[in-house]
Chains A and B, each alone.
Chain A
Amino acid sequence: MTLGLPERAGTARPALPRAASWLLTNEFGLLALIVGFGVAFALGTPGFGSPFNLFTLGRVMAIDIMIGFAMMVVIATGGLNLSVGAIGVCSAMTFGCLSERAGLPLAFAIPGALALGGCLGALNGQLIVRSGLHSFIITLATMSVFFGVMVFVTRAEAFRALPAAISAFGKARYFGYVSPLLIVSAGVGLSLAALYRLTPLGREMLAAGASAPAAELSGVRLGRTYVLCHLLSGVLAGIAALMVVARTGAALPSMAGDLGQDWLLPAFLGPVLGGAALAGGRVSVLGAFLGSALVSEITNGLLQFRVGEFWVQTYLGLLLLIAVLLDLGRRKFLASIGSVAR
C-alpha cells in the first residue's frame, strides 16, 4: 500500500504470495496495533467503548490525520513544512474574518480560507525553489512570519460569532458515534491516494522526492512540482484548521499554540509511523491515516486509564516505541517464514 517508485533491481525482495505480502506491510502492522490497543483499552476501561468516547476519539483522529496529510504531501518530495500550524491558524482566522466580519456565507468563506492556505503554501514553495535553500530553513522562517502577520492583523482577537452550522457540523454524529470530520479525512485520504496512484502529477511528486536529478532528466519540472506540493500542503492545513474551528465553534489565534508549533508533533507522527520516507519518494496515505489514528487512540486510552496527565506523553512515547519494535519483529518473523516456505 506504500506508494513510491519501484525498488532497484537486485535489492527487491523475492515475490511473496499476495496474502503474505499484505501481512508484511506497515499498514497491516498499524491496523493490528490499532485493533490490539482498542481491545485492551475497551477491556481495561469502562468508558473507552462508549459511543460518546468513540465519537470524540474519531473527531480528534480526523484533525490529527489531516494535519499529518498536510506534512505528508511535502515529505513526498523530501521536503518539510514547519509552517503547517501557522498556515492553519491563518486560514482559520481568514475564515472567521470572512464569515463573521464580512458576513460572507460559508460557501464563500470556506473556499476563501482554503485559498489563503494554498497561497501561503505556494509562497513557501516559491521561496524554496527560488532561493535553493532547504524547506526546513524557509518554512521555519515563514512559520514566524505568517503567525506574526496574523497576530498583527487580527490583534489576536478571536472570531467567536461564527455561523451555528459550522459548530453543528463539528458536533454532528452519524450512527451515534461517527464524526463527519472523520468522513472528511477519509475522503481527503482517498483523493490523495488517487492523486499518487492514478495521476501523472502524483507520480511526478514521488519521482521528484526519490531522485530529483533523475526526475528532471525524465522531464519533470521540479520547481513547479515543489510549489504544487507546498500549495497542497497549505490547503490541507487549512482544512485541518477549519475542522478545529468546527470543533470549538470559534476561530482562535491560539488554536495551534505559539507559532502553530503544537501541530508539529501530529504532523510528523502520522506520516512517519505510516511508512513515509523522510528523504522523499515514498509515502503511504493509508499508513499516515492509520499512524495518526494509532497515536490518537493511544492518547485517548491513556487518558481513560487515568494515567497521570503529566505522564501521558511519556507513556505515549514508550507505547509507540514498543509498538514500532513489535511491528519490526513481526515483519522480520514473517519474512523469515516466507523465505523458509520458498
Chain B
Amino acid sequence: MLRSLKTINMIAAAALALAASATASQAADATKVALVPGGPHPYFAAWEKAGQDGMKDFKLGAADYRVPQKWELGLQNSLLESLLSQGYNAFLVFPGDPVGSNSTVQELTENGAPVIATAGCLKEPTTALFCFGTDTGNSAYLGTKELIKAMGGKGRIPHFTGFLVDPNTQLRIDAVEKAAKETNGAVTVVQVIADIDAPGPAEEKINAYLAAHAVDVDGLVTTAWVPAVVASNALRKIGDKRIKMVGIDHDEVVLKAIKDGFVNGTMLQNPYGQGYIGSYALDRIRAGCKVKKDAPFKTIALTNRFIDSGTVYADKDAVDNYVGSMQSITKKIFAEFEKTYLTCS
C-alpha cells in the first residue's frame, strides 16, 4: 500500500514538474489571444474569423475564439482562468458582468496577460486596458431616429432588446427613450420588452405582443440580435408594411426582410473589426507599446476609456454592400489605431 502511494506521488510530482516547465517555456512565446464572449450568441461569430485573420496578418501564436457553454458568469470566469493556465497571454473579453468580471480580469492582468473589454465594457476601476465596442447608446439613438423618420415623425413604438445582465441593454433603453422624447410627444415608446435575446423568449414575447397590439403600433425598434430576427419574421408573416422597423446587426433574415421591404433598415455593428483590431492591439501591447494616457477616449456610463468600433445604418440601398461598409470602417480605425491610442518606442 505504502509502496503504491509512493509510486503515485512520484508520478504526480513528475507530471506537475512537466506541466510547470511546459507552462514556463510558453510564457515568453508569441502572443496567444483568446477571444471570449459572455456566452453563445451569433453576434460574436465574426470574432472567430477576425481571430484567424489577425493570427495570419500579425503573426500571432494563436487567436482562438472560445465560448462559455452558456451565459453564466461563473462559467466564463472558469473558462478565462483555464485559458490562462493553457498559455493564452492576451484576452479580448466580453464581460459577463460589468463589475463581477473585474475580479477575474484583474487576475489575468496580474499574471501578465493584457485584457481589452470588447463589445461590452467593465465598470471603472478596472485593470482592462480600455473598452472597445459599439457605442451602443449612440447606435440605438441613431436607429430610433431613422425609424422616426420612416414613420413620418409620429407614432407609437415598442422597443425589443437584449439581456438585462448585458451592460449595454440599459444604455440602449435610455437612448431609445431619448430619441422619442426629442419629438416632444409625437413619438412614444409604448413598451420595452427586455431579456429576450434568445430564440425561445423572443419568439414567445414578440409574437404575443404583436398578436395583441400590432394594430396599435406604428413602428418597432429592436436593439439586440435575436429580437431583430424574430421581429423581422413576424412582420413578414403579418405581411403589413404599414409597421416600420429598424433592427440591428446583420443576420440574413433581417437583411432579406430589408430587401423585401418588411424592415426599413438595420444598425450594423462591427464585431469583425473588434476581434481583428483588438488582437492587433494586444500584440502591440505585449511587444512593449503603452496605451496613451491622453488618447481621445470617449466617456460612457461605465468607463472613461471607450473606443467606438463603429456603427452604420444600412437601408434597402446599402444592404447589399454591408460587408464593404464594415470593412471600410475597420480599415479606417486600424490605419489610425496605433498612432491614436498607443505609444510604441
What residues make up the interface of A, taking CB atoms closer than 8 Å to B?
Answer: 19, 35, 38-39, 42-43, 45-53, 56, 60, 156, 158, 160, 167, 170-171, 244, 247-250, 252, 254-255, 257, 262, 299-300, 303-304, 306, 309-310, 312-313
Given A39-B11, A47-B19, A309-B68, A254 and B97 contact (CB-CB distance below 8 Å):
yes
Chain B residues with Cβ below 8 Å from A167 are 103
* B12 CB–A CB distance under 8 Å: yes
A–B pairs, 18, beta carbons within 8 Å: A38-B12, A39-B15, A49-B20, A50-B19, A51-B20, A53-B81, A158-B99, A160-B98, A247-B103, A248-B97, A248-B101, A250-B103, A255-B100, A262-B72, A300-B82, A309-B69, A312-B69, A313-B69
Chain A residues with Cβ below 8 Å from B1 are 19
B150-173 contacts to A (CB < 8 Å): 164-165
Distance in Å from the Cβ of B135 to the closest Cβ of chain A? 22
Distance in Å from the Cβ of B106 to the closest Cβ of chain A? 8
Q: Which of B15, B82, B97 contacts A53 (CB 8 A)?
A: B82
* B86 CB–A CB distance under 8 Å: yes
B contact residues, total (Cβ < 8 Å): 43
Residue with the highest number of chain B CB atoms closer than 10 Å, among A46, A156, A313: A46
* B102 CB–A CB distance under 8 Å: yes
B50-75 contacts to A (CB < 8 Å): 66-69, 72-74
Chain B, 250-278, contact with A by CB distance < 8 Å: what is the 0/1 string?
00000000000000000000000000000
Bound-complex Cα distance A306 to B1 (A): 35
Q: Which of A43, A53, A247, A303 contacts B18 (CB 8 A)?
A: A43
Whether B16 contacts A49 by the Cβ 8 Å rule is yes
Whether B81 contacts A52 by the Cβ 8 Å rule is yes
Distance in Å from the Cβ of B199 to the closest Cβ of chain A? 16
* A-B interface pairs (CB < 8 A), number: 125
Given contacts A53-B81, A249-B103, A252-B97, 9 further A-B contacts (CB under 8 A): A19-B1, A42-B19, A46-B19, A51-B20, A158-B100, A249-B102, A250-B97, A255-B73, A313-B69
Q: Which of A19, A43, A47, A244 contacts B23 (CB 8 A)?
A: A47
Chain A residues with Cβ below 8 Å from B183 are none
Chain B residues with Cβ below 8 Å from A244 are 74
Q: Which of A46, A158, A313 contacts B86 (CB 8 A)?
A: A46
In order of increasing CB-CB distance, the 5 nearest A-B pairs are: A49-B19, A47-B85, A42-B15, A46-B22, A53-B85
Bound-complex Cα distance A299 to B18 (A): 21
Given A250-B97, A303-B82, A48 and B19 contact (CB-CB distance below 8 Å):
yes
Whether A42 contacts B12 by the Cβ 8 Å rule is yes
Q: Which of B11, B20, B97, B104 contacts A50 (CB 8 A)?
A: B20
What residues make up the interface of B, taking CB atoms closer than 8 Å to A?
Answer: 1, 8, 11-12, 15-16, 18-20, 22-23, 26, 40, 66-69, 72-74, 77-79, 81-82, 84-87, 97-104, 106-107, 111, 123, 164-165
Bound-complex Cα distance A43 to B102 (A): 32
Bound-complex Cα distance A138 to B103 (A): 36
Closest partner residue, chain A, to B5 (CB atom): A35
Distance in Å from the Cβ of A316 to the closest Cβ of chain B? 10
Distance in Å from the Cβ of A168 to the closest Cβ of chain B? 10
Whether A310 contacts B77 by the Cβ 8 Å rule is no
Whether B74 contacts A39 by the Cβ 8 Å rule is no
Distance in Å from the Cβ of B4 to the closest Cβ of chain A? 10
Chain B residues with Cβ below 8 Å from A56 are 78, 81-82, 85
Chain B residues with Cβ below 8 Å from A170 are 103
Whether B111 contacts A52 by the Cβ 8 Å rule is yes
Chain A residues with Cβ below 8 Å from B101 are 248
Q: Which of B12, B18, B73, B165 contacts A35 (CB 8 A)?
A: B12
Given A56-B81, A313-B69, A46 and B26 contact (CB-CB distance below 8 Å):
yes
Closest partner residue, chain A, to B104 (CB atom): A248
Given A19-B1, A43-B15, A257-B72, A50 and B99 contact (CB-CB distance below 8 Å):
no
Given A248-B73, A250-B97, A310-B69, A49 and B103 contact (CB-CB distance below 8 Å):
no
Bound-complex Cα distance A53 to B107 (A): 12
Closest partner residue, chain A, to B81 (CB atom): A56
Whether B23 contacts A160 by the Cβ 8 Å rule is no
Closest partner residue, chain A, to B19 (CB atom): A49
Bound-complex Cα distance A49 to B1 (A): 25
Chain A residues with Cβ below 8 Å from B20 are 49-51
Given A47-B85, A304-B86, A248 and B103 contact (CB-CB distance below 8 Å):
yes
Whether A309 contacts B8 by the Cβ 8 Å rule is no
Chain A residues with Cβ below 8 Å from B19 are 42, 45-50
Chain A residues with Cβ below 8 Å from B73 are 248, 252, 254-255
Bound-complex Cα distance A249 to B104 (A): 9
Distance in Å from the Cβ of A55 to the closest Cβ of chain B? 9
Chain A residues with Cβ below 8 Å from B68 are 309
Whether A306 contacts B86 by the Cβ 8 Å rule is yes
Chain A residues with Cβ below 8 Å from B85 are 47-48, 50, 52-53, 56, 304
Given A42-B19, A45-B86, A46-B86, A171 and B107 contact (CB-CB distance below 8 Å):
yes
